[in-house]
Structure 1
């Protein structure tokens, strides 16, 4: 059993975690509730915390485990928790996005998330999935392999989890409300963090620095998570190379790099060999941004410290790629490939039953009360998604009429030169709760195309309930006659969150073998709030084990 407590202005959210192993006699966890205020960056303010800590504690499980997580909400905000990257077979009730697979847990109410960890091992994470509460409501999930199953790389001496985030001095919900009322993007974050701390380069933060101690000659596994709301991040360690061995809880062909790029929602495991002169070395993150938009460009640091070296030794900074280093970003992503061995195969769909083409668009809607008379919006295939008032999965399961439509277009209604000269028109953008219906076990190819509506920009897209293969990516407009010939159908990277490059496109493939309603959205919280999202309705199969499980009795009601 494990318990977490979230502190919010006006109340608390209590989470109790119960872990039951596939071999319950050998695996059992118990966490206890603590509630504390958290102070960071010279500003003490009440924030959402887990066990009095920010970020929340790491949740450990093993492949094959069953997990039950009871959530009791005593806060002024409604909340839901998403277990990011867990596939939740037939069990969307435990997925967590508010108004998609459940109504949020209201103040004074409880909900038990119950799910199995099946066929997955590696690094994932959990976070709030309503409003902007995931600014501080997040933590790591570490899934260990089954007993006796080794890593497909040299066993490290030990491991550490690094969770990257963003920090606002103000209440982030108030920041968002102010931006919406003005029709402007909310104020950018005041700092980036590594395990909740910005490091000594930020004013007044000398005592707020995360450090890990290492021994010369040993190799360490770093489990890295980007929990930032809106920023892709570069990460490097001064004087040390990194060997990438896993992304989004899927093993990769190892390759060495001086830095990694990680988008919001993604995880990356790297090996680092402590083979330098004993000393203190900065681990650092800063944003990657190759579009003309404002962003918090501050560098967050933590310390990679050799054993026996005193704290008085000044650390050295790594050579991070420049913030607009598109060449490095594209080159790094091209190196990511699935391991594709008999033990860990890459089962890429070769025949496609359904071809989808989604365009990403930003736009402006009239807003007489806003500063510029307009309010920013976002769309897929010219549709700005409208959140329903009840959970979509519940409406689908009980066949409730009038909640959503399943006529989301397979392609944009108005083709144009997507990445040509900047466009300011919305091209007939409409609002609606329109979903994509997929036949059970059908194979799907989805091309996500960035556009120059207002501006080109990178977009990390996350698909709930599934992993997918990233079979192709490119800059400019996708060419259906030429680009598929360049696809990697042998060992493409397998992910749950993928970055669509600025002014470019990404093609993914997956098999729709998990029935239910599954959210698909940009993982930039800013764009999600503007409507850059939809959902897939995957129909039941013919067999009893191919249908959505019945809802739990304590499913929250709206």
Structure 2
């Protein structure tokens, strides 16, 4: 037995695992050990405490192939519970493995848990991260790349190399101090710096390339709140993939990557041989911060790189909106990661949700909400409470479909939806910051993005892209604007919808979709894993018998 922070008891189960796989699917095994470490992230500051995975910051990249089965054994060497979540992976029929507290009991200190899931028909660039509290502010994240199976056509030639860059804002303050600040009802300050692959020293690392060759760069914004702009000075970026969807291959001088988002570009080394700068810089803020990596041509004799800031025309928000609308799905690609039908614009809408963010003070503490409801974690993961039919943990329908009365109330917010429904979700942002939202277990089509200072109405549907909108799992909502998405609910389970502005998520800007099928069939949803950790009110429960 081990202590559970909600007052319950952890029950450690045997490590028997059930996998539903096809004979030709391969298995990949990973052993991830989570520990603390002290690392100097830049030259100006002393070493900081970070969360390491296998002694690395960032953690090791998980390199996978479509339809792989993953067996990931995570050992928690921290002094507090820990969970890993898989940003952008769909985990079909398997929300038990999602790695967020609404579905999974945390791994107690000194214990381990083995995740077991199938990546399904996915390709692309993703990342894993610690989902509890604000542990993400200390690291614990790493990249995930999923390659197509051999023989499956890819809509571009094989690149000469494949680089991964994890970019994100960073705080100097220890993550436990940040947690205490939020628990005390105060918002955390702005980030101190921008890191690239865990390094805060500008131009202290380099990537070597050959002139005339084309390389793939996979970039993920793993930070806590800031949108970042990515640029390779002197080179054009050909966008080819966004969170598992092949895109129309448009050319950009730079790309905005909002917190929680991932994409990949092809870059041809067509410039005179010398050193160039890869830059990640903050966006939409009056406090500018940036970091850089050197792009080094292999046959250059130059030992320096000149940094020349780019000045883009007009307002940066208008520029970013125009860019976002230009990102579209490549319908000619042989394989796509689209939910439901390619003809999503012809599917009848089952239900429209209008989700509005808000901020306020509740019980003299800062809180954030969606449709007036600020999420409060229950003492038991919601998925376990649903499985064991434990009453009083949550109530389906505890968050409304549309904004209601003024003010904020605290609730363990769960929205009930039906398997096979097709939703229109309109995200409203009345605030002066860019917000980003993510839905676990799904991709959605980003069908509409409003102009600055625009208001959504039913007439806004005339502006929707109903042909080739990008399919992704994380979308931004610009200041004083709106974003509309379509999503096909083909994945039964309990799925987290959240702000990727992590302090807001921690202080209530999230809820869960309960995607329900009355059939209770393994064709719709896998059963509770036999090695599942049980905690809270589920601690002393026994699994229902199941025969696969």
* TM-score, normalization by structure 2: 0.87
Corresponding residue number in structure 1 for 2:305: 314
Distance 1:541 1:489 in 2: 31
Query: Do residues 298 (structure 1) and 289 (structure 2) align?
Result: yes
Alignment CA distance shift 1:392-1:32 (3 Å): closer
Question: Which among 401, 410, 420 is matched to residue 401 of structure 2?
Answer: 410
168-177 or 102-111, larger mean C-alpha shift: 168-177
Q: RMSD of the TM alignment (CA)?
A: 2.5
Q: 1:360 aligns with which of 357, 360, 373?
A: 357
Report deviation, 1:172: 1.9
For residue 279 of structure 1, what is the aligned residue in structure 2? Answer: 274
Shift in Å, 1:152: 0.6
Q: CA offsets per residue over residues 356-377 of structure 1, 9 Å max, x none?
A: 111111122342xxxxxxx322
CA–CA separation in structure 1 for the residues paired with 2:30 and 2:382: 33
Task: Tell me which residue corresponds to 2:424.
Answer: 445
Is 1:142 the equivalent of 2:163? no
8 A Cα contact 1:356 1:445, kept in partner: yes
Q: Which residue of the partner structure matches residue 431 of structure 1?
A: 410
Q: Which of the numbers 323, 332, 336 marks the counterpart of 1:341?
A: 332
Task: Give yes or no for contact 1:283–1:317 (8 Å, CA) kept in 2.
Answer: no
1:514–1:546: 8 Å Cα contact kept in structure 2?
Answer: no
1:291-317, CA deviations, whole angstroms, 9 ceiling, x for partnerless residues? xxx75x211111111003346223333
Q: Deviations over 1:208-256 (max 9, x none)?
A: x231101111111001110011111001011111011111111100100
Say if 1:261 and 1:483 are closer, same or farther in 2 by CA, change over 3 A.
same
Q: Give how far 1:151 is off.
A: 1.8
CA distance, structure 2, for counterparts of residue 231 and residue 222 of structure 1: 21
Q: How far 1:166 sits from its partner (Å)? A: 2.7
CA–CA distance in 1 between the matches of 2:93 and 2:22?
19
Cα separation, 1, equivalents of 2:521 and 2:32: 39
- Equivalent in the alignment of 1:38: 39
Indicate the residue corresponding to 2:546 in structure 1: none
The equivalent residue for 2:487 is 510
Q: Which residue of 1 aligns with 2:131?
A: 129
Give the 5 Å matches for 1:365-384: 365-367=362-364, 375-384=365-374
Q: Secondary structure at the match of 2:289?
A: coil
Q: Is the 8 A contact 1:337 1:492 kept in 2?
A: yes
Match of 2:256 among 257, 261, 284: 261
Structure 1 residues 53, 448: CA separation in 2 closer, same or farther (over 3 Å shift)?
same
Distance 1:237 1:88, change over 3 A: same
Counterpart residue number, 1:521 = 498
Change (3 A) 1:544 1:27: closer
Q: CA deviation at 1:30?
A: 6.5
Candidates 184, 191, 196, aligned match of 1:189 = 191
Describe the superposition over 1:21-70 as per-residue Cα deviations: whole angstroms up to 9, x where unpaired: 97789875666869764322242133211222211111011001100111
Measure, in 1, the Cα distance between the counterparts of 2:520 and 2:170: 48
Displacement of 1:184 after TM fit? 2.8
Q: What is the CA–CA distance in structure 1 between the aligned matches of 2:313 and 2:195, rounded to whole Å?
A: 19
Match of 1:250 among 245, 249, 266: 245
Instruction: Identify if the C-alpha distance between structure 1 residues 353 and 32 changes in structure 2 by more than 3 Å, giving closer, same or farther.
Output: closer
Matched, 1:80 2:70: no
> Residue 187 of structure 2 contacts residue 503 of structure 2 at CA under 8 Å; is this kept in 1?
yes
Q: Given the two structures, how large is their TM-score scaled by the length of structure 1?
A: 0.85
In terms of mean alpha carbon deviation, does 172-181 or 123-132 score higher? 172-181
CA contact (8 A) 1:164 1:192 kept: yes
Match of 2:434 among 441, 447, 458: 458
Q: 1:450 and 1:479 mapped to 2: Cα distance? A: 10
Indicate conservation of the 8 Å contact 2:34/2:78, yes or no.
no
- Check 1:320–1:534 CA distance in 2 against 1; reply closer, same or farther (3 A cut): farther
Kept after mapping to 2: 8 A contact 1:468/1:494 = yes
Indicate the structure whose relative CO is greater, using CA pairs within 8 Å and at least 6 residues apart: 2
2:6 matched residue in structure 1? none
Q: Does 1:234 align with 2:229?
A: yes
Change (3 A) 1:32 1:95: closer
Q: Which residue number in structure 1 is paired with residue 444 of structure 2?
A: 468
Aligned to 2:177: 174
The Cα shift of 1:274 comes to 0.5
- Partners of 2:396 and 2:66 lie apart in 1 by 35
- The aligned residue for residue 351 of structure 1 is 348
Could you say which residue in structure 1 is the equivalent of 2:7? none
SS at match of 1:556: coil
| 1:165 CA drift (Å) | 2.2
- Indicate if the aligned counterparts of 1:95 and 1:101 stay in contact, CA closer than 8 A: yes
- Structure 2: gaps of 5 or more residues: 1-14, 536-548
Q: Which runs of 5 or more residues in structure 1 are unaligned?
A: 1-15, 202-208, 368-374, 415-426
